[in-house]
Structure 1
Amino acid sequence: MDWLREHTDVRTIRVAAADLNGVARGKRVPARFAEKVFTEGTRFPYSVMNLDIWGEDIEDSPLVFETGDSDGLLMPTERGFLPMPWLGAPTALLPIWMFHMDGRPYAGDPRQALARVVERYSAKGLTPVVATELEFFLIDDSGKQLRVPPSPRSGKRRTGGEVLSLRALDAFDVFFSQLYDACEAMDIPADTAISEAGPGQFELNMMHQSDALKAADDAWLFKMLVKGLARSHGFAASFMAKPYDVWTGNGMHMHFSVLDSAGNNIFDDGGPAGSDKLRHAVAGCLEAMPGSTLIFAPHENSYDRLVPDAHAPTAIAWAYENRTTALRIPASGPKARRIEHRVAGGDVNPYLMIAAILGAALNGIEDQTEPPAPIKGNAYSQGLPQLPGTWGEAIERFAECPHIPRIFERELIDNFLMTKRQELHYMAELSDQEQTELYLDTV
């Protein structure tokens, strides 16, 4: 409450939690009632955490009529109040997560799912260190065709991608300056920004941190911030996996290492190859990858990104310093030895994505599983095992995968499957343009 008391100009607050699709669900509350919400929480129906991408109830879900659409209790996360710099009036955001009325964590809450994985690490005296890289497009969606917005500096539209172009960054300098200021105000550890291969496409990296829940919070809040700030500038920002057919898509890569109780990186063996535990973590991620693809590519549009020769992985393989594989071991000093997981699109729920990766890695460490040999060369051309190629296949692989129940509780698995099967059914009724309009702002 201290932050809110220091910002007396704030008249309203938003309380919000991430549903299974990562969409913010919440309420608007007058600031004079904020202390009651902060100390006593608020209530949503459990079913709100399990809506489809249109915001509709899941048909035949036990969370709806079978239980009388009963309420869960939502309490503030450790984050506390945050500013919402993209809104015109001074406003505070209070991130919340769901519990049962008796105080037990609600298993269907994606943030609780990540907390459960982190607790598995803690029980072994281990701490994951996480960083994310988020790609997004700035888009003029005012007409029938999506295109890059005109530069506020020159009034011109760039027609192609410009990798690592300072000119492309400087064209939107005011936007990025405000974005960095907003990240600082929201305690989001935004690091380097670059221009990417698509027109109006950019990537912003987060700093490594030893709090996986905060890393997921940061990614979730960053997506909300970028989209809101872009709209205040008169254009859209989208983390949609593939908004343009002919250009590269948006990814959300994750780098991670693991510290022991003494603060040592367990992936470090003093040399370039990394330790046995690094290989075990790689093996765990590879084994769970077919089943967890639905987490990394949760939407119909996600599979337009996962195609050969498009700078997104399609093969279930790993390598050292090779960006064609699903798992890459970047070149670094031994103490910074880490794994880069490159499968997820920008359209993911960050809580589920980080939970799936860290959970799979810990499975491998626990089982001391050995991976196949790291590959060399182009992973697209070596006849390697492939990720599920369609949304429907990914749904069924998720349902059948024996590794998933070790990571997620049964209720979340069942809720996610019901959600994705309902979306798959109704998405078939939409044209490509209608799908784009749906995904552009929601994911």
Structure 2
Amino acid sequence: MDWLKEHPEVRTIRVAAADLNGVPRGKRIPVRFAGKVFSEGTRFPFSVMNLDIWGEDIEDSPLVFATGDCDGLLIPTERGFMPMPWLSAPTALLPIWMFHMDGRPYAGDPRQALARVVDRYKARGLTPVVATELEFFLIDDSGKTLRVPPSPRSGKRRSGGETLSLRALDTFDTFFSALYAACEEMDIPADTAISEAGPGQFEINLMHQGDALKAADDTWLFKMLVKGLARTHGFAASFMAKPYELWAGNGMHTHFSILDAAGDNIFNDGTEKGSDALRHAVAGCLAALPGSTLIFAPHANSYDRLVPNAHAPTSIGWAYENRTAALRIPASGPAARRIEHRVAGGDVNPYLMIAAVLGAALVGIEDEMPADPPIVGNAYAQSLPQLPATWNLAINAFDNCALIPRIFERELIENFLMTKRQEIHYMAELSEEEQTELYLDTV
């Protein structure tokens, strides 16, 4: 509440939680009633955390009519208030998460799922250190076809990708300056920005930190900020996996290492190869990849990105300093030895994505799983096990994977399966253009 006292210009607040698709769900509240959220929490139905991508109830879900569509209790996360710089009126956002009325965490809340994984690390005296890299397109969606927005400086449109081009970045300097200022206001640790391979495509890295929940919060909030701020500049920003057929899609790569109780990186053995713990974590991530692909590629459009020779992994393997592999061990000093997980698209729920990565790594460490030898060369050209190539195959793999119940609780698994099966059913009724319109702003 001190933040609100320091910002008397704020007249309304938004309280919001992430549903299974990562879509913010919540309420608008006059600021004079904000204290009630802290003293009593707020309520909305458990089923709201389990809506499909259209925002519709899941048919035959036990969370709806079978239980009277009863309420859960939502209380503020440790994040507290922050500004919403993409709105014209001064407004504060308060992230919340869901519990049962008796105080138990609600298993179907994706943030609670990540907290459960982090608690398992804590029980072993371990702390995961996490960073994310987010790719997105700036898009003019005012016409029948998607295009790069005209440059605010020259009025011209660039027709192709410009990898690591300062000119491309400077074309939208006003937007990026506003974005970095907003990240400062929201305490989102935005680091390097680069232009990527697609037209109007960019990537911003968020700094690594030893609080996986904050890393996921930052990623979720950053997506909300980028999409909202872009609209104030007259164009769209999209994290959908593949908005353009002929260009590479949007990824969301995750870097992670693990510290022991003394603060030492357990992946570091003083060599370039890394420790046994690193290889166990790699093996766990690879073993879980078929089943967790649905987390990393949760939508119909996601599978347009996961195709050979399109800068997204399609096979199950790992390598040192090799971006064609699903898991890459970047070149670094020994103390910074880490794993880069490269499968997820920009359209993921960050809480589920980070939980799946860290949970699989922990299973590998707990079981001391042996890793196959790292690959060398082009992963696309090698005979390797493949990721599920379609949405339907990924749904079945998630349902049948023995490792998924070791990462997520059964209620979340069942809710996610019901959501995706409903979406795949109704998505078949939409044209490609209608799917693009749906995903462009939503994910």
State the distance in 2 between where 1:42 and 1:288 align.
36
Which string of whole-angstrom CA distances, capped at 9 and with x for unpartnered residues, describes residues 122-172 of structure 1? 000000000000000000000000000001011110000000000000000
State the distance in 2 between where 1:61 and 1:372 align.
41
Q: Which residue of 2 aligns with 1:152?
A: 152
Q: Which residue of 1 aligns with 2:174?
A: 174
Q: Which residue of 2 aligns with 1:143?
A: 143
Aligned ranges for residues 1-12 of structure 1 at < 5 Å?
1-12=1-12
Aligned ranges for residues 57-72 of structure 1 at < 5 Å?
57-72=57-72
State the distance in 2 between where 1:76 and 1:104 align.
15
Q: Which residue of 1 aligns with 2:115?
A: 115
- The secondary structure found in structure 2 opposite 1:340 is strand
State the distance in 2 between where 1:123 and 1:37 align.
31
- The secondary structure found in structure 1 opposite 2:98 is strand
Q: Which residue of 2 aligns with 1:292?
A: 292
What amino acid maps onto 1:215 in structure 2?
A
State the distance in 2 between where 1:299 and 1:291 align.
15
Q: Which residue of 2 aligns with 1:277?
A: 277
Q: Which residue of 1 aligns with 2:320?
A: 320
What amino acid maps onto 1:347 in structure 2?
D
Q: Does 1:375 align with 2:365?
A: no
State the distance in 2 between where 1:165 and 1:244 align.
20
Which string of whole-angstrom CA distances, capped at 9 and with x for unpartnered residues, describes residues 208-262 of structure 1? 1000000000000000000000000110000000000000000000000000000
State the distance in 2 between where 1:437 and 1:341 align.
29
Aligned ranges for residues 310-389 of structure 1 at < 5 Å?
310-389=310-389
What amino acid maps onto 2:257 in structure 1?
S
What amino acid maps onto 2:120 in structure 1?
R
Q: Which residue of 1 aligns with 2:77?
A: 77
Q: Which residue of 2 aligns with 1:189?
A: 189
Runs of at least 5 residues in structure 2 that lack an aligned partner in the other structure:
none
State the distance in 2 between where 1:403 and 1:63 align.
25
Once the two structures are TM-superposed, the CA of residue 38 in structure 1 deviates from its matched residue by: 2.1
TM-score (norm: length of structure 2): 1.00
- The secondary structure found in structure 2 opposite 1:72 is strand
Q: Which residue of 1 aligns with 2:268?
A: 268
State the distance in 1 between where 2:327 and 2:382 align.
16
Identity within the alignment, %: 83
Give the superposed CA RMSD. 0.3
- The secondary structure found in structure 1 opposite 2:138 is strand
What amino acid maps onto 1:171 in structure 2?
T
Q: Which residue of 2 aligns with 1:426?
A: 426
Once the two structures are TM-superposed, the CA of residue 383 in structure 1 deviates from its matched residue by: 1.4
State the distance in 2 between where 1:136 and 1:306 align.
16
Q: Which residue of 2 aligns with 1:440?
A: 440
Once the two structures are TM-superposed, the CA of residue 293 in structure 1 deviates from its matched residue by: 0.1
Q: Does 1:222 align with 2:216?
A: no
Q: How many residues align?
A: 443
State the distance in 2 between where 1:221 and 1:230 align.
14
State the distance in 2 between where 1:38 and 1:428 align.
43
- The secondary structure found in structure 2 opposite 1:365 is helix
What amino acid maps onto 1:223 in structure 2?
K
State the distance in 1 between where 2:413 and 2:58 align.
14
State the distance in 2 between where 1:144 and 1:39 align.
49
- The secondary structure found in structure 2 opposite 1:192 is strand
Once the two structures are TM-superposed, the CA of residue 37 in structure 1 deviates from its matched residue by: 1.1
TM-score (norm: length of structure 1): 1.00
Once the two structures are TM-superposed, the CA of residue 40 in structure 1 deviates from its matched residue by: 1.3
State the distance in 1 between where 2:168 and 2:218 align.
25
State the distance in 1 between where 2:377 and 2:212 align.
32
State the distance in 2 between where 1:420 and 1:194 align.
33
What amino acid maps onto 2:215 in structure 1?
A
State the distance in 2 between where 1:395 and 1:189 align.
34
Once the two structures are TM-superposed, the CA of residue 308 in structure 1 deviates from its matched residue by: 0.1
State the distance in 1 between where 2:379 and 2:220 align.
31
State the distance in 2 between where 1:347 and 1:323 align.
20
- The secondary structure found in structure 2 opposite 1:26 is strand
- The secondary structure found in structure 1 opposite 2:204 is strand
Which string of whole-angstrom CA distances, capped at 9 and with x for unpartnered residues, describes residues 238-288 of structure 1? 000000000000000000000000000000000100000000000000000
Q: Does 1:133 align with 2:133?
A: yes
State the distance in 2 between where 1:132 and 1:39 align.
34
State the distance in 2 between where 1:62 and 1:77 align.
27
- The secondary structure found in structure 2 opposite 1:183 is helix
Once the two structures are TM-superposed, the CA of residue 39 in structure 1 deviates from its matched residue by: 2.1
